[in-house]
Chains A and B, each alone.
Chain A
Amino acid sequence: MTTLSHSLPAAHDSAPVELLRRRLPWGLLALLAVAFGLVPWLGNDYWLNAILIPFLVLSLAGLGLNLLTGYTGQTSVGAAGFMAVGAFATYGLLLRVPGLPLPLALVGGGLIAAGVGFLFGIPSNRIKGFYLMVTTLAAQFFLEWVFTKFPWFYNYASSGTISAPRLELLGHDLHSPLGRYLLVLGSVVLLTWVAVNLVRSQIGRNWMAIRDMDTAAAVIGIPVDRYKRLAFAVSSFYLGVAGALWAFAYLGTASAGSFDINRSFQILFIIIIGGMGSIAGNFVGAAFISLLPLLLNQAGQWLLGGNVDAGQLQNLQKIIFGVLIIWFLVKEPEGLIRLLSNLRERLAIWPLRF
């Protein structure tokens, strides 16, 4: 059979295009230099513990959900359920496999979460869109129940909680805020790099094709069911690792309740606000969602001079989140990341207007 590249004129200008795409992303490199080099020097424990670590873990969770919902178009409201699988599985591996290095335990926890995600993704061959969402809700409640009802998962602790049996890498103890920050940062950078590779590969294009129109995807030869299940598995891997990091690097001690449906909503909001189908959007969304409560708290203290009712502040926060969700869906479905890039374009041409 003749292939087209033989009989049609070959592309001449593909080399320069490749070069252009490979140009060094200076901004990104600078950001990494700051994250790895400067932050450990300057960041105090409060910043690392209360802001940077949760922000990074939530970004990773957002990334996981975004691969499934933003890239493959399968809406999930069970993200936290898969985070719980990762956390409890990593805990079990560390506890029951003596001498297992932490990175392997994390990967193992992620893989187990991926397996569970794969199972819950199986109905996606018959059930679509909105109805599929119910599957993910079922996963959420079922998994929460499993990790509450079966003491084996939390090693029969009377509190029903888990905390990392050990947190070390190559003999270095990672219990300090800086150690945990570097563990989280390293995991996030590595997994983000993999995600970028994925979404730019044929796999990523297949996912997006399924998202945009699954009937057409099947017609041009994409095994739709298989790629949906793959998306469930990969997404759950990311969520699983994020869950383990959330439990051990951020909370320290976690239980099934740390991964309830509100956590799932939180992750969903990160990708709606940050930007569906965007890698960077997860970071923007996570930054927003972890900083807004702090800002509100500050603003409350500043305005009311310390007489802030924590409950009312939480209500206000809820209202603001709700309004923002609706506002983004109406005005900017592509999220904050689109707003930022529009802003950048406008800034770039701004001097020329005069």
Chain B
Amino acid sequence: MTFFLETLLGGLLAGTMYSLVAIGFVLIYKASGVFNFAQGAMLLFAALTFVSLQEQGLPFALALLLTVVVMAIGAIVIERTVLRPLVNRSQITLFMATLGLSFVIEGLAQGLMGAQVRALDLGIDDVPVFLGEVMVSQFDLVAAATAALLVAVLALLFNSTRIGVSLRAVADDTRAALSIGINLNRIWQIVWAVAGIVGLVAGLLWGARQGVQFSLSLVVLKALPVLIIGGFTSIGGAIVGGLIVGAAENLAEVYIGAHIGGGITPWFAYVLALVFLYIRPAGLFGERAIERV
């Protein structure tokens, strides 16, 4: 029983990391209808930038601030060169464009800052902590707390600032938002910048775990099933989806994978997502659109 709880809890905590990545997607999807495949590349870029700045001897806070500035500039460039020219095009087209974008960002990140694995120390020890009988990683706990904090900040931002209100207006009804004079391009820039910052936080946490390296950009592939389960339009869904995927993956690897050769995590989340898709085609929290003809 303890073992089961440990597996479950470990999975849930790992799941908060998935949630963190998925939140970046949801933000962008809500505001601009784009499934941003480049989110993983942005995450890599942010983490690499931060590490490179730190290597130059910059203190933590300054490196963080500068990285945020870089991500904001990146968001403006992306909005100008990719989103604006592709406005009103199909979702699949936009998706493919972000696939291209991910290549550009990955190429830039590795071209400018190198491809070797960088160590990143956030000063959190990865030591086991006991909750009663159940053992969990301290690092996982801190990561989960950070994720929770970030979500709280985002919620505050959206519910009580002017920008947040405009953003929700855009997400609810783009045309109506335009008609009351909301600057859509500005909103996109802000949202992509915020998604970049969420990516930075996720990148730092993942990077501290497994080193800052190219494979960070692959978390995008982990986030997709999370989004399918939670729905593309709900931050709450992204959180719950992440937790479900994390827990299910861990449990499946231990209890199912052992019988069929192991290593099933790369695809198990997808199969889970497919099952969810078949039962609830718009995710757990996504709203289903009525097809009009």
Contact = CB atoms under 8 A, between A and B. Distances in A.
A and B touch in the complex (CB under 8 A): yes
Interface of A: 75, 123, 126-127, 129-131, 133-135, 137-138, 141-142, 144-145, 148-150, 215-216, 261, 265, 268, 272, 311-312, 315-319, 321-326, 329-330, 333
Contacts of B277: 123, 126-127, 131, 134-135
Given A130-B35, A142-B267, A318 B107 contact: yes
Contact of B221 (A137, A311, A324): A137
Contacts of A149: 260-263
A322 B264 contact: no
A269 to B, nearest CB: 8
B19 to A, nearest CB: 18
A84 B197 CA distance: 38
A126 B228 CA distance: 14
A138 B96 contact: no
Contact of A321 (B89, B103, B115): B103
Contacts, number: 120
B158 interface: no
19 contacts: A75-B95, A126-B278, A131-B228, A131-B281, A133-B92, A138-B271, A138-B274, A142-B271, A145-B263, A148-B263, A315-B115, A318-B106, A322-B107, A324-B100, A325-B96, A326-B81, A326-B101, A329-B93, A329-B96
Given A138-B267, A315-B110, A215 B100 contact: no
Contact of B96 (A134, A135, A268, A315): A268
Contacts of B270: 134, 137-138, 141-142
Contacts of B195: none
B86 interface: yes
A150 B97 contact: no
A161 B95 CA distance: 34
B100 A321 contact: yes
B101 A319 contact: no
B224 A134 contact: yes
Interface in B73-104: 81-82, 85-86, 89, 91-93, 95-97, 99-104
B204 to A, nearest CB: 23
B229 to A, nearest CB: 10
Interface residues of B, number: 45
B103 to A, nearest CB: 3
Nearest to B109: A315
B225 A134 contact: yes
Minimum-distance CB pairs A-B, first 3: A325-B100, A322-B103, A138-B270
Contact of B266 (A145, A215, A321): A145
Contact of B86 (A130, A142, A329): A329
Most A CB within 10 A of own CB, among B86, B100, B101, B278: B100
Given A138-B271, A311-B115, A326-B97, A126 B266 contact: no
B274 A319 contact: no
A322 B267 contact: no
B57 interface: no
B95 A134 contact: no
Given A315-B111, A329-B96, A134 B273 contact: yes
Interface string B100-124: 1111111110110001000000000
B293 interface: yes
B291 interface: yes
B109 to A, nearest CB: 9
A325 B270 CA distance: 27
A130 B91 contact: yes
Contact of A330 (B86, B91, B107, B274): B86
Contacts of A322: 100-105, 107
Nearest to B85: A330
Most B CB within 10 A of own CB, among A265, A272, A312, A318: A318
Contacts of A148: 263
A319 B86 contact: no
B221 A134 contact: no
Contacts of B103: 318-319, 321-322, 325
B274 A134 contact: yes
A3 B86 CA distance: 46
Nearest to A214: B291
Contacts of A215: 291, 293
B278 A127 contact: yes
A139 to B, nearest CB: 9
A302 to B, nearest CB: 20
Nearest to B260: A149
Given A123-B278, A137-B221, A150 B261 contact: yes
B68 to A, nearest CB: 24
Nearest to B90: A129
